[in-house]
Amino acid sequence: MNTQDPNILGDEDLVRKVQDHNDLYAFETLVKRYQSKIYNTCYRFMGDTQEAFDCAQDTFVKIYTSIRSFKHLSSFATWAYRIAVNTCKNRLMSWEYRRTKKTRYLSQDTLELKDNSISPDQEIERSRIQEKVQEAINMLPFDQKQVIILRDIQQLSYEEIEKITGLRSGTVKSKIARGRDKLKEMLKDLKYEM
């Protein structure tokens, strides 16, 4: 067995170590590499820190339980994002989620680092804007929401988005354009002065 440090291996090599040798340290390395990206993706879909945490955790459980069936037809990152998106989609569509969401107040928690170079008033304004943007993203139809999050927030390529969503290039681009137009309309009165 290769005893090379997993921290310097590429994703595909780490996946193979998990597949071939059930190497838990290699899997842990993958989790550390992707945990903040997966969490942030889930947060943008769910709009709630606890829901995002639960979905991110579910995503990594699903990755671990199905990693042996990963065929290396796409990058590990693309595959992981696809699982995260589907996990969030399933959660948003579930009856239990919709039922509990009606009784829950909108969370104002954010896990973003504070910028000490701005005043408390500016920080409050920034938080208000982030909350409004997240509320607008939450109002988008899921098909537009997923491509906006993957392209504009996670900054994935169109090709990666096609692989994650299973949509064609033209469809991805049109959904992004329509989503951006809707966001622009919803946020047209939002003003931010720094």
What's the per-residue H, E or C state across 85-145?
HHHHHHHHHCHHHHHHHHHCCCCCCCCCCCCCCCCHHHHHHHHHHHHHHHHHHHHCCHHHH
Are residues 58 and 117 located together in one domain of the fold?
Answer: no
CATH label of the domain that carries residue 180: 1.10.10.10
Structural domain that includes position 167: 112-194
> Which residue, 82, 107, 132, sits at the end of a domain?
107
State the pLDDT at residue 143: 92
Mean pLDDT estimate for the chain: 85
Does 4 reside within a domain?
no
Are residues 26 and 98 located together in one domain of the fold?
Answer: yes
Q: At what angle do helices 76-93 and 11-21 cross, to 10 degrees?
A: 80
**How confident is residue 128, by pLDDT bands cut at 50, 70 and 90?**
confident
Q: Is the dihedral of CA 44, 45, 50, 54 positive or negative?
A: negative
Does 3 reside within a domain?
no
Give 86-124 pLDDT, tens digit per residue.
999 999 888 666 666 554 443 334 344 444 566 777 778
Are residues 70 and 119 located together in one domain of the fold?
Answer: no
Name the domain count of the chain: 2
Are residues 22 and 103 located together in one domain of the fold?
Answer: yes
Does 2 reside within a domain?
no
State the pLDDT at residue 191: 62
Are residues 118 and 179 located together in one domain of the fold?
Answer: yes
Collapse the DSSP code of 5 into the 3-class scheme (helix H, G, I; strand E, B; otherwise coil) and give the result. coil
DSSP state of 158: H
CB–CB of 49/111 below 8 Å? yes
CB–CB of 82/163 below 8 Å? yes
State the pLDDT at residue 112: 43
Are residues 98 and 117 located together in one domain of the fold?
Answer: no
Q: What is the phi-psi region of residue 70: left when phi exceeds 0, alpha when psi lies from -120 to 50, beta otherwise? A: beta
